[in-house]
Amino acid sequence: MAKSDHELFKLEYGISDDLESRVLEMDDVCFDPIPHIYIADSAIHGCGGFIDTPVPAGYGVGWANDNGRRTILGRYINHSDEPNCYPLPTPCGFFVVSGRYIKKGEELTFNYREVMQAHILRNSVLNHGED
């Protein structure tokens, strides 16, 4: 049986099922509402973050991580090998940007590889010059 892209991602980055479960259960989520974002059952996995209005490509959707705390968007955005969003690293966290037009009611997705690369880039920039 072929592995899903999510399973391949976990293998590539050495993420065990146990580690993934612990990350999902972490108590670091800020549940403050984000305009136009709602959580609902996902056809991808568990629950997902959805948008209640159409979004053009290049639109700032909301924070996924704000000063070290995951938002509901950061907690519930699911993986896709054809994502409709990407993470934009900033000094205070990660902002979600639409990578293409997103229809009202569509689930918001990342490719988790891009999230890992954004973390690496952000840490490299923030730690530049520190030895």
The mean per-residue pLDDT over the stretch 47-63 comes to 96
The C-alpha atoms of residue 71 and residue 49 are separated, in whole angstroms, by 11
> pTM of the predicted model, to two decimals?
0.84
Mean pLDDT of all residues in 24-53: 90
Cα separation, 6 vs 30, whole angstroms? 25
User: Residue 108: how many CB atoms within 10 A of its CB?
Assistant: 24
Q: Which fold, 29-126?
A: Beta-clip-like (2.170.270)
Summarised one tens digit per residue, pLDDT across range 15-25 is 888 877 777 77
